[in-house]
Each structure stands twice: as structure tokens, then as C-alpha cells.
Amino acid sequence: MTYQNILREDADGIATVSVNRPDKLNALNDLTITELQHCFDALTHDDAVKAVIVTGTGEKAFVAGADIGELASQSPLSARPLAMKGQRLMDTIEACPKPVVAAVNGYALGGGCELALACHLRYGSETAVLGLPEVTLGIIPGYGGTQRLPRIVGKGRAMELILSAKPVNAEEAYRIGLLNKVFPQSELIEATRKAVIGMTRHGPVALRFALDAVNHGMEMPLSDGLNYEATFFGLLTSTDDVKEGMNAFLEKRRAEFSGK
């Protein structure tokens, strides 16, 4: 598929997906959501891709929000399907069996913040600004923001960010756990790539199971989550990767995982 509003670049087993609407500060319109959905559906099943970086083109915005021009024309009959379409994209990103890291290179507001929240980790530049300002427009976050933000920063901080509609800068986002790391703007992409390459050197089956255990375990009572974790722990002992990982450790060499 040829994309109009996103770019995909693959190198060293890492796919970099960039929202490419710099004239609109990379705002998410319907076509962009459709293209991102298609892209992540493909990435999920692409064995050559070991991890994904999500970012925006330019230095002003990661994704500045949803396309207000499109939102302004919504009715009750069209708005709910639109929200569900955005939620499906975010669910697909969160459920990706490979590490997905957001490189937040500027404004990440509204739908852009929700896109970052769906990623497994969020690295930001010193110029990053994150927030959910939807209530200033008379609406609420619709792509998962009311659900993922409290799971990441806690209910109290999420309530404050959503109800006040005030964005936070990179320093505050890092302090409250919304960003995992902060880098100078010029170093963000390279630092993110370096971190992601480090992740891809680990056992891919173990990474997939770890992501699944965290994502689904968070929704379970602790006892069920622990049982879920133990099941994966047991299953992994039957893989070639475990044998390779253990032998490499004992032999004091770097493991060469096959993903089997």
C-alpha cells in the first residue's frame, strides 16, 4: 500500500513509522488513522521487523492532536464509530508483539498523546509537550486517553491532566512517569534507535510474552495475573531461545536467538 500521510522506513530490523502531515502539525485525520492501522497490521506479521519506533516528521510536533476540521462535522451517529476506529488502532499498537516506542519530538496533544500512550514506552525530546485538552472543545478523549493515562500515571494525576486540560512539558512528563526518558531534540531519534536495538538483542519470544503478560495482567486480579505470568514462564522453557540464552550465559558469550 502506498501511504499519503505516513512514512515507513526499515533498517536493522527496526521499522520507523512517522506521521507525515507537517503542514497540519501531523494531526490525525481519518485517512491517517486508516494508514496507521494498515501499517501496524502489516508490522505485526512482518518477521523481519523486531521493533517499531513511532514519531512525527519535523521538529514541532509528534502529533498535535486530531484533525479539528473533521471533528467539527461529527454527529452522534458518526462520532462513536470514529472513536472506535481510533481505539482499534491504539489497541493494535498496544497489542503489537514487538516493542513499540514513541519518540515524542514535539507537541503530543489529544489524539497524539493517546497515540503515545498506546506505545509500550515513550521517549521525548526536551521540547516535548503532552496533554489531553479535549474538554476545552466540549468533548472528552476518545481514542483511549481516559483509560490508558490513569493506568500509566495514576488516577489522580490523570484526572488533573484531563479535567484541567493543561499540557505538561517534558520535564514534568518524565517526573510523573508519562515519559520514560528525555533527550535533547537533536539526539532523540538516534537515542531511541539505540535503546530499541538493545531490546531487539533479547529473546523475541520472551519479549512477546513479557508484553502480553504486562498488558493483560494489568486487567486481572493479582492472583490471576500471577498465574498468567507463571504459564508463560513455563511455556518459555520449551523454546530453543531459552536453551540458547542459558548456554550463552554459562559460556560467557552473547546469545544468538532464533525466535523459536
Least confident stretch, 28-42, 74-88, 175-189: 74-88
Tell whether 66 is covered by a domain. yes
- If asked whether residues 192 and 217 sit together in one domain, one would say no
- If asked whether residues 117 and 209 sit together in one domain, one would say no
- If asked whether residues 20 and 115 sit together in one domain, one would say yes
Query: How does pLDDT run across 97-143, given as a tens digit for each residue?
Result: 999 999 999 999 999 999 999 999 999 999 999 999 999 999 999 99
Q: Is 248 a residue whose pLDDT tops 90?
A: no
Query: 58: helix, coil or strand?
Result: coil
pLDDT, position 250: 85
CA-closest candidate to residue 50, choices 181, 187, 189, 208: 208
CA distance 49 to 16: 10
- If asked whether residues 43 and 77 sit together in one domain, one would say yes
Domain hosting 186: range is 6-200
The secondary structure element, H or E, covering residue 62 is strand 61-63
Tell whether 257 is covered by a domain. no
- If asked whether residues 122 and 224 sit together in one domain, one would say no
pTM: 0.93
Is 134 one of the annotated active-site residues of the chain? Answer: yes
pLDDT, position 143: 95
Query: Is residue 152 within 8 Å of 178, Cβ to Cβ?
Result: yes
Tell whether 68 is covered by a domain. yes
* Interval 152-181 mean pLDDT: 97
Annotated catalytic residue, options 35, 70, 94, 114:
114
- If asked whether residues 226 and 180 sit together in one domain, one would say no
Tell whether 170 is covered by a domain. yes
Annotated catalytic residue, options 94, 134, 251, 256:
134
CA distance 102 to 224: 30
Tell whether 221 is covered by a domain. yes
Please count the structural domains in the chain.
2
- If asked whether residues 83 and 102 sit together in one domain, one would say yes
Tell whether 97 is covered by a domain. yes
Tell whether 259 is covered by a domain. no
Is 244 one of the annotated active-site residues of the chain? Answer: no
CA distance 105 to 57: 9
Query: 224: helix, coil or strand?
Result: helix
CA distance 251 to 28: 50
Q: By percentage, how much of the chain surpasses pLDDT 90?
A: 78
Tell whether 258 is covered by a domain. no
pLDDT, position 155: 97
Query: How does pLDDT run across 197-210, given as a tens digit for each residue?
Result: 999 998 889 999 99
- If asked whether residues 63 and 153 sit together in one domain, one would say yes
Query: How does pLDDT run across 136-151, given as a tens digit for each residue?
Result: 999 999 999 999 999 9
Query: Is residue 167 within 8 Å of 130, Cβ to Cβ?
Result: yes
